[in-house]
Structure formats: structure tokens, C-alpha cells
Amino acid sequence: MTEPDDRSAEGRGGLNRASERGDDTSPDTAEARHRAFLRGFPAIALAIFVAAVDQTAAATALPAIAAEFAAVEQVSWVMVAYLVAGTCAAPAFGQLGDAFGRRRLLFVALGITFAGCLINAMAPSLAVLIGGRILQGIGGGALLTIAVSLIGEALPPRERGRFQGHIASIYASAATFGPVVGGFLTQHFGWRMIFLVLPPLALLAMALATRLPRQPPARQTRLRFDWLGLGLFLLVVAPALVALDQARRMDAATLPLAGALGLLAVAALVVLIAWEKRAPDPLLPIGLLTEPSIWRTNLLGACVFGALVGSIAFMPIFLQAVRGLSPATSGLVLLPLSVCGAVGAMFAGRMMLKTGRSMVWPGFGLTWAAAMLAAIALVAHVAPIWLLPVMLGATAVGFGTSFPVAQTTVQVAAGAARLGAAAASVQLSRNLGAATGTALLGAVLFGGLALAGGEVATLFSRVVAAPGLVATLPAEDAAGLKAALSAAFRAMFLTAAGFCAVAAVLSTRVPLRRI
């Protein structure tokens, strides 16, 4: 090593890897690359926006898709296929980005998303549509992983937190925007129009990405891609997510299938771990994932997303069936839950930049979120309607403090050579946490209704499909159903609060506390 001081500074800051090639080692070059990254950051922001809208916009179109293809029972695969593909794409593109360069892989991911959107817009059948959603899921999972890795590659650790806060606010805004624009386009132009909005944005992101600085791959040796690991990982993720989707419905007819799929996923996981320990270039580097700062931070993220996504999934039912709100009003009440997370993310990102402290912010924020969810559990069924969005927004601020901290902590703990794998592990933990948390909250909710006895569970199943049904029930039946629902939702919200409390405790157990 001929220039230890320069290389050491670059390893700490992540601003410039030119010295690893033996040229352009001057601070002026590092600063120039930094400025080039800032010019190219709109491409990363737009890629995140495309991925978030891509993931959420189709949800409001599911009824129209089911009606056109006469496939009500199979239409949930439109969302499940995306989630499975995105979860599997995250570690694969993390490894590929380390080996071939993330700027190059960003173009590939945008191209895959572009192709998936066009296939979906012209899909003649549900099978083709699901195939297009798999492509979109691969593109979306890749975009999220590559975008956050590009930030870690170009910026010093403290500054990453600020930009991760920007990313969190963009993602939250896009996730909120997706269902709104999806519903509008479906109602006025047909569901296919949803998939025609994104290709121009993908092309614009490609044009902006040409301004990103060219960085050499973090990996300097030839990659032997872990195809067997990817296949085993798919055999873990697909059955597990389908099993969770079936189990959360608490339908006795589907529970045997869910159990069998769960056992298959567990068996595949055992084989996957054994293989990854001896694979030449493992898809899931076990050594990385077992480092305390990384696995505890990822588990923290899984708990947060389990509480957040699970709450978003079931809150509309509560608001419409228990509080009697219209679907439009329910959406407005939920808006702070999606948007205010960005406030917490921006705060935590800026405080990391200013102080260098990391886990202290989610420690406070997640404790606050747990307390707010507990308060919602106690008063949501009787509180004034105007108070609910305030409480949900306050909860989301607490959630948001963990978003940039988790990404930055895992990246710093992993080191520059493993940024792709680190970013993929965060995305993977969040996806699995969201799916598992939603299933567990659903089990608590449906289990509470089952304990209520009588026709409550049957009535609830009908209410889920048609929330306005409550208003048509006899007064005595409606009152009994609302009482049972209030008790079941109280247990569900307390469970979500428990997830946040676990995450808050984990934040105190992460060894890496300064960046």
C-alpha cells in the first residue's frame, strides 16, 4: 500500500475509490466525485419513487383486474408475486452490484421495470399479468437495494444518514401517492393505465443516472454467482410468503396448506444455511448476517415494518367497520401514518450528521411509537375522529427515526466491500418483517374474534369484503359486532406496540452506536 493515508481516509469516508486503481487519489478528485454524486442524486430519488409507486399502485386496481379476468380467488397473486420477486432480487442484485458496479446495475434494474410495466399494460390474461409483476418485483427490489448502496458508496457515513432521510421521505410520499393515483387512473382510464405511467419515469431516471459518477466495482475478483443459493432462497421465500398470506386469513380450509408450505420453507432454510457457509461466493454471507450490529439492526427493522405495514393493512377495516367512516375519509385519516414517517427519518438523518450518534434516535423514537400504539389501543374506539390522524402521525414520526439509522448502521458495520450485501439484508429483513408482522397481527385479530364466539367471525368476514354492511345490520347485531371488533383491534394494536417495544430494546443492544 503506497499511500496509506489517502486510502485510509477514503475507506472511512467512502468518497472515492480511485486510489484502489492507483490513480486520481487527490482530495480534489474526491470532492469532484462527491459533487458528481450530488448532481446524479435525482436519478436515485426518482428510482426510489418508481419502485415505491410500482409496489403500491396496483393494490387499488385489484378489484377491476379480478373483474376483467374473472379470477377473484387468484388475483392476490398480483401482489404476492411482486413481493416474492422483490425479496429474492434484493440479495441477488446486492451481490451483482458489488461485482459489476452499481451505476451499471441501476440501468439494468430500470430496464427490467420498464419491460414489466409494458407487459402488464398489454397483458391478455392474469397469468401474463403475474409474469409481468414478477419482472416488476425484480426491478423494484433491485432499485431499492442499488439506490441505497449508491449512497453508501459515494458519501461518508454521517452524511449518508441525511440522504437516507431524503430517501425515506421520497419512499413514504410515493407509497402514499401510489394507491391514490392507482385508484384515480383505474376509475377514469382503466387499470392498464397504471402500468403506462411508470415507463416514462423509468426512462427519465435512466437519463438522470448518466450524471452519476462512475465507480469501480467494490469487488476486484471474478464473481462466481451463487445460483444454487438463489434457488434455495426462492424455495424459502415463496412458500413462506404464501403460507403467511394463507395463515393470516384464519380459514380452516387453508391452514393445512399453509402449514405444509411453512415446513417446506423451514427445510429449505436449513439447506440454504448449510450451503451458504461453504459457497465460494455466497448470496447470503452468513458471517456478515451474524455480526451483532447487523443482525440486531435488521431484526429491529423487521419489527418496525411488521408493526407499520400490519397497522396500515388493518386500520381501514377498523375505521370503516368500527368507527363508520367512508373509504375516502379512512384514506385521509391514514395519510399521516404514511407521510409523517418522513419527518422522523429527516430528523434522525440530520441528527446523525450533526452528532455522529445513531441508535439513540430510534431508541427514543420507537419507545414513543410503542407508547402511542398502546394509547391508540385504549382510546381509538371512542376518541374524536380528528384525534386519530394526529395519533397516527405521531406514531409514524417514531417509526421514521429508525429508517435512515438502520441503513447507515448496517452499511458502516459491513464495510465498503460489502455495501450491496448490507443494503440487501436491510431490504430483505423489512420485507420479511412486513409479511410476518401482518400475518401475526391478523392472527391476533381473527383469534380475538373467534374467542368472541357466535356469528362475530362470520359477520367480520362479510364486513371485510363490504365494510358498509355494518350499517345495514340490526341494531343489536351491529352493537355486538362493534364491541367484539373493538376488543379484537385493541389486542392487535397492543401487539403492534409490543413489536415497537422489542425494536426499542434492540436499539440499545446494537454495539455500533457512533458513525
C-alpha cell at 11: 475507506
Q: What pLDDT, on a 0 to 100 scale, did the predictor assign at position 300?
A: 95
Predicted confidence band at 20 (pLDDT cuts at 50, 70, 90)?
A: very low
pLDDT at 273 over 70: yes
d(CA 29, CA 503): 41
Task: Please give the C-alpha separations between residue 351 and each of 348, 358, 360, 423, in angstroms, as whole numbers.
Answer: 5, 8, 10, 21
Domain assignment present for residue 200? The answer is: yes
Predicted confidence band at 482 (pLDDT cuts at 50, 70, 90)?
A: confident
Verify that 215 and 299 share a domain, yes or no.
no
d(CA 101, CA 217): 4
Neighbours of 20 (CB within 10 A): 17
Helices and strands in the chain: count of H runs, count of E runs: 20, 0
Domain assignment present for residue 11? The answer is: no
Predicted confidence band at 176 (pLDDT cuts at 50, 70, 90)?
A: low
pLDDT at 496 over 90: yes
pLDDT at 62 over 80: no
Three-state SS sequence of 192-246: HHHHHHHHHHHHHHHHHHCCCCCCCCCCCCCCCCCHHHHHHHHHHHHHHHHHHHH
Chain-centroid distance of CA 244 in Å reads 16
Cross-strand pairs, 293: none
The residue written with cell numbers 402488464 in the block is 120
Domain assignment present for residue 179? The answer is: yes
Average pLDDT of 367-395?
Answer: 93
Domain assignment present for residue 133? The answer is: yes
Q: Are 301 and 406 in contact (CB under 8 A)?
A: yes
Cross-strand pairs, 357: 514
Verify that 214 and 116 share a domain, yes or no.
yes
pLDDT at 458 over 70: no
Q: What pLDDT, on a 0 to 100 scale, did the predictor assign at position 1?
A: 38
Domain assignment present for residue 15? The answer is: no
Q: Are 265 and 239 in contact (CB under 8 A)?
A: yes
Q: Are 98 and 217 in contact (CB under 8 A)?
A: yes
Cross-strand pairs, 35: none
Residues with Cβ within 8 Å of 55's Cβ and at least 6 positions away in sequence, in order, are 82, 86, 140, 175, 178
Verify that 211 and 293 share a domain, yes or no.
no
Q: How far apart are the first and last CA of the chain?
A: 25
pLDDT at 2 over 60: no
Closest CA to 327 of 55, 65, 60: 60
Grouping H, G, I as helix, E, B as strand and the rest as coil, residue 514 is strand
Verify that 310 and 212 share a domain, yes or no.
no
Domain assignment present for residue 270? The answer is: no
Which range among 239-248, 314-323, 408-417, 459-468 shows the weakest confidence by mean pLDDT? 459-468
Closest CA to 208 of 48, 349, 91: 48
Which range among 35-39, 95-99, 366-370 shows the weakest confidence by mean pLDDT? 35-39
Q: Are 141 and 87 in contact (CB under 8 A)?
A: yes
d(CA 25, CA 220): 18
Verify that 216 and 305 share a domain, yes or no.
no
d(CA 39, CA 356): 25
CATH of the domain at 408: 1.20.1250.20
Domain assignment present for residue 20? The answer is: no
Closest CA to 512 of 147, 161, 170: 161
Predicted confidence band at 468 (pLDDT cuts at 50, 70, 90)?
A: low
Verify that 346 and 455 share a domain, yes or no.
yes
Q: What pLDDT, on a 0 to 100 scale, did the predictor assign at position 178?
A: 73
Predicted confidence band at 94 (pLDDT cuts at 50, 70, 90)?
A: confident
Q: Which residue has the higher pLDDT, 104 or 322?
A: 104
Predicted confidence band at 277 (pLDDT cuts at 50, 70, 90)?
A: confident
Q: Which residue has the higher pLDDT, 118 or 99?
A: 118
* Mean pLDDT computed over every residue of the chain: 80
Q: Which residue has the higher pLDDT, 59 or 117?
A: 117
Domain assignment present for residue 244? The answer is: no
Show which of 181, 207, 226 is a domain's final residue. 226
pLDDT at 24 over 50: no
d(CA 291, CA 278): 18
Q: What pLDDT, on a 0 to 100 scale, did the predictor assign at position 66?
A: 77
Cross-strand pairs, 514: 357
Q: Is the dihedral of CA 78, 83, 88, 90 positive or negative?
A: positive
Average pLDDT of 359-366?
Answer: 94
Instruction: Looking at mean pLDDT, say which of 19-23, 242-246, 277-281 comes out highest.
Output: 277-281
pLDDT digits 0-9 by tens, 204-222: 999 988 888 777 666 656 7
Q: Are 110 and 298 in contact (CB under 8 A)?
A: no
Verify that 337 and 428 share a domain, yes or no.
yes
pLDDT at 26 over 60: no
Predicted confidence band at 399 (pLDDT cuts at 50, 70, 90)?
A: very high
Gyration radius of the chain over CA positions: 23
Verify that 508 and 375 share a domain, yes or no.
yes
Q: What pLDDT, on a 0 to 100 scale, did the predictor assign at position 270?
A: 92
Verify that 355 and 488 share a domain, yes or no.
yes
Predicted confidence band at 460 (pLDDT cuts at 50, 70, 90)?
A: low
Grouping H, G, I as helix, E, B as strand and the rest as coil, residue 357 is strand
Average pLDDT of 31-44?
Answer: 74
Predicted confidence band at 250 (pLDDT cuts at 50, 70, 90)?
A: low
338 CB-contact burial (10 Å; exposed 0-12 / middle 13-18 / buried 19+): buried
Q: What pLDDT, on a 0 to 100 scale, did the predictor assign at position 461?
A: 61
Q: What pLDDT, on a 0 to 100 scale, did the predictor assign at position 4?
A: 36
Q: Which amino acid is at 106?
A: L
The residue written with cell numbers 379476468 in the block is 69
Q: What pLDDT, on a 0 to 100 scale, did the predictor assign at position 237?
A: 84
C-alpha cell at 8: 485510509
d(CA 152, CA 76): 35
Verify that 162 and 296 share a domain, yes or no.
no
Q: Which residue has the higher pLDDT, 205 or 447?
A: 205
Grouping H, G, I as helix, E, B as strand and the rest as coil, residue 187 is helix
Q: What pLDDT, on a 0 to 100 scale, did the predictor assign at position 467?
A: 56
Predicted confidence band at 493 (pLDDT cuts at 50, 70, 90)?
A: very high
Instruction: Looking at mean pLDDT, say which of 156-160, 248-252, 487-491, 500-504 comes out highest.
Output: 500-504
Q: Are 371 and 496 in contact (CB under 8 A)?
A: no
Show which of 202, 226, 250 is a domain's final residue. 226
Percent of the chain predicted with pLDDT > 70: 82
d(CA 344, CA 346): 6
Number of domains making up the chain = 2
Q: Which amino acid is at 142?
A: A
Closest CA to 422 of 229, 303, 240, 291: 291
Show which of 206, 226, 246 is a domain's final residue. 226
Q: Which residue has the higher pLDDT, 25 or 45?
A: 45
d(CA 359, CA 486): 35
d(CA 137, CA 113): 8
Verify that 204 and 297 share a domain, yes or no.
no
Verify that 108 and 207 share a domain, yes or no.
yes
For 53, the domain range is 27-226
d(CA 449, CA 428): 32
In degrees, rounded to 5, the angle at the alpha carbon of residue 381 between the alpha carbons of residues 437 and 325 is: 90
Average pLDDT of 373-392?
Answer: 92
